[in-house]
Structures are given as structure tokens and as C-alpha cells.
A and B are shown apart, each in its own frame.
Chain A
Amino acid sequence: MKLKNILGILLGGNKVWFYVTFLAGLALGLLIKQKLPIKFKEDVDIVPILQLIVTLIVALLITHYGKQKADENRAEKDLIIEQLNDCRTKCREVFAEFSGCCDEQQANAEQQKRLKQGVRDFSNHLYAVRRLIEHSGNPAELVKQHEELQSRYYTFKARITDLNGSNAFTNPATRNSAETAWRESDNQLTKLIIAVNRF
């Protein structure tokens, strides 16, 4: 059984403490009833009771639909964050592969293929994120942060795929500039994840 009431939340969903607190409350109530002179009116007016029932029903409906909406929003956010984490993983993998090529001061055909494929996967995750943001109604802050990320991706891609002249693997600056581009992409991914959680 899930403890979805206030007490459950306050006790952090701990079942044992929930029952202990519940029984303690019941015992305290019986004790207070015996010790204090509390009496209920015997003739009860129907109007306040009906008002109370209507208020309770309205409160339950609001809670139910509000929770449903909140759950839907959470699912949307989780989906976007999942894609962003995939972006981050791919970005890291591409840089690791690239860094290995820098160590060897060259990239064979297979390594070049993996680099291009990795960059393409990164791009496709970015596209998936954009589609999800569009489905969420294009919130301005998310669109802005995604555009920033796309811009960082272009820089990262350029550092990884343009390997001639001053950008050759034999040049020590090649790895540094790629690392900077990777870190900037990674930072922007974090910013976008935070923006998605705030949204």
C-alpha cells in the first residue's frame, strides 16, 4: 500500500512509523474524549453537512485532476531529461574516442567512422529533445536553452570532424580545443536539464 496522505509524506513513506503514529493518535483521541468534557449537539442541521460533503468532493476532484496533470508534466520532463542524459553520454563517448586518437596522433578508418557516427547520434538526440520541447508547447526558456545547446554542438562537431592543418591530431592544441567544446556542451546540457526541471 502506498502512503499518499499528508502523514505518509511527513514520515517519508515509512510504513511502520505510519501505523505507530496512527495508533498513537487514535489512543490520544480516546484519552482526550474520556478526560475532557466534550459533547456533540444531538440535533444536527443538514445544510452544513451537505456543504461539508460538497466541499470535500470538490477538494477531492481538484486533488485528483491536479495530481494527474502534475504526473503528466513530470512524465514529459523525465522524457526530455532522459534524452538529454543520452546526449551527455554520447558527447562524452565521442570525446573519449577523439582523445584516444589524439594519444595515437592519428585516426584510422574505423575510428573516423565511429567519431562521425557518434556525432550523428548526438545530433539525433538533440533533435529528439527539440521535438519533445515542441510537444510541450515550446516554452521560451527551453527553446532558448536548446538553441544555445545546438550552437555548442556545432562547435563541438567542428572540433571533432575538421582535422586538417592546424587541427591535425599531431597538434597538442587539437585535444584542448575539443575538450573545451565538450565541456561547454556538457555545461549547457546541465543548464537545459535545470531549465526543464524548473518548467
Chain B
Amino acid sequence: MKCFIGIDLGSTTTKSVVMDDTGTPLGHGITNSRSNYDTAALVAKTEALISARLVLLRQSLDKAPGLTLSTDDVLYMLERHFRLAQFLVQLDNLKRLCGEKAVQGNYKEDPATLTTALERTFSALKIELSKLFEPGAERKSDFFRDLAGTVYMEVAESQAAELKISSDTLINIYDKSIIEVENIPPQVDMSETFLVALDSALNAGEIQTEDFGKVQAALKEVLAVELEETYVVGTGYGRARLPFPKEHIRSEILCHGLGAHLMYPKTRTVLDIGGQDTKGIQVDESGIVVNFQMNDRCAAGCGRYLGYIADEMQLGLHELGPLAMKSTKKVSINSTCTVFAGAELRDRLSLGEKREDIIAGLHRAIILRSMSILSRSGGVEDELTFTGGVAKNEAAVKELRILVQENYGDLKINIDPDSIYTGALGAAEFARRAVEA
């Protein structure tokens, strides 16, 4: 079948959406952006195609009679085993590269000791990390870098202590290797891995033989469907570096405008807060951009600001919103300058203000800045669609609702849980229109 692919190469993450020729999104994928943009784009696209296969499988299973397991259960099980297989390939790459670095790296430690430390670290890693893919386990991130990194740091530290070597050396080896691992293009054969994943679910006793046969048949059928990459459109901050010819590239303003329109056709204003820019976009009833404003001399008050604050407070990015929601007192933060905000934050802490109140103030500061960009772009009209990574943050959403209410009255504010894919969705639709229209 014909597939149209949009890739949004952002400063923090790279997103991809696969669409069929009727304009229905089939799947989406995401990965962290990295130094090699080609690989980031390829990984995101591969992920979107994997997700598309799973969507096709869901459609097929929904029609298949007589399964004991529910479709949801089958897909959850299959995806877990698939992700584990994918993950273990990357873990092997990491192990190999770390081993090479240990020998070639001119570290003060004896290479043999380092090799032993790494052997033991990786054995423990494999066990620990495999647990993340067991039924019911929660993963805090979908990115290999995050998952492997956290556990590696813990294990390496205890190994270093045991073998009386510097844990800094082990961490240094990791840091050098992970970048290379991320720049290796995806090596997994998708079809084979899916079938092996199903076998492994059978071996683990998670699926009965009778169901297995039916699922395997459906899966083989779905895998046999050719997903033809008919047209690809790239967008996002790094679009100029995507390995695409110029005609396959659209500005993220246009893609976000169209993406938001596809998600919510009554959208007239789009606010997108990404890692390093904030955009206010006005669209007409067809999703055509009629006006926009964005920051370009300074990235104050963008998504990265929250990342920096989270680091300053030794919190995870996803913990900021829930913490701010606990605020009971209004603390104003004046600076949206990322660097100054750190100083202001420490100053407020020293004055005895509570963390949650300060964090809530920081969220308000970001949204205040967005409001000025929105008003520059022509204000806010019904309906407002909020997109970008920051739209996932409940405290930011809360402040936005308050400020929109105060300045523009009762408007409908749309936030899609998949809003991070808005730009990629718009890009996929541009790809479809380039061929179908």
C-alpha cells in the first residue's frame, strides 16, 4: 500500500508519522535527536513503520474470531517482546563499543580489569533491563539512551567499588560509546523480529498454542503487506540537514498549522512550545497559515527552560508539572532567561519559598511569554490548539487556561495526548497532497 511519511526533526526529539492514501494516520514513531540527523530521521521513520504494522495487526485481529486473549493483550505482549529484542541488539552494540574503548582508551586502569568490570556490568545490565519489558513493568522513557544510562550508572558504580577502579572511567567509556550506538542505523529486520518476538512470548508461556497459530497467521499476513514509501516530507528545526531534496522540506510553521487542523478542524490558533522555540500560528478553515510569530533572537521560556530547571532541582522533566500542581501560593518569577532563572530560583528557595510554588511561578513565566508571542501573531481565536512537548505538562496547561480565559474569554482549548506528533502529521499530509492532490 502507498504510504506517506512526515518527519519532524526537532531540537530534542525526532518524530515521524505514516499515513495511508486516504489521509488516515497509520502509525507514529519518536526518538531522541542526535548528532547524526540521518540516523535520527531513519530511526523515527522505522519506529513509525513498526507502529503502522501494529495498527494493521490490530485491525486484522479485531476481525479474527475465536481468540482467547483480547486484541489489546496480544498487542501489548507482542510489542514488549519486540521492544526487548530491539533493545538487546542495542545493548550488544553498547557492550561491544565499551569493550573496544576500554582497551584503546589509554585509561590509567589496567585494560584487563576494565574488561572484567564491563563484563560484569553488562551481565547485570541485561538482567536488570530485561525486567523493564516484563508484563506490567513501567518504563520511564522509550529511549535506549535514558533506560540504559540510568541502570549503567548504578551498576558501574558498584562494580568500580568492588574492583577498586574509578567509576569516572567507566562512565567516560559509556559516554563515548552511547553516542556511537545512537548513530548506528537501525539493524533489526522488522519482520523477523516480530515473528521471533511472538515465539518468545510462546516460550514465556504468555500465549497459548491455539491463539499463537491464529496470531502468527495474522501477523504474517500483515508483514507481507508492502508499505511503500511513496513520498516523504521533512520539517522541524533540523530540516535543512535532513537528507532530502528541497521540495521535500516544509517549514514547521506550515506543518504545525496543518497538523493541528487535521487533529481539530475548528482550530484557528495554534500555540506550539518546543524545545527551543515558541510559535503562535493563525490558520484558516482549511488549515492554511495566515499569520505566525515565533521567537528568534532568544530562546528564553521554551521547553529547554523547563529541562534546565528540572536539572537545577534534580528532578525529572516529567516530575515538574505534577509538583507545580501542588502549589498553593503565587510566587512570581520575573526571568524567562534560562540562565537567570536558575539564580532567581535559588534566591527564592533561600527566602523560604516552597519548591512547588516556585515551580508553578516558572510555568506561569513561560506561558506569559507565549501569550505575548500569541498576541503578536494576532491574538487567540476559538479554537486554540496547544502542541509541542510542553503541552504534555499539566501545570503549563493550567496556566494557559487561566491566561487565555483572562485575556480572550471562554475558548475551547484542544490538547491531544499525541500533540508531539502535530508537525510530523502535517508533514505526512503535505507528502500525501504532493502525490494525491
A, B bound: no
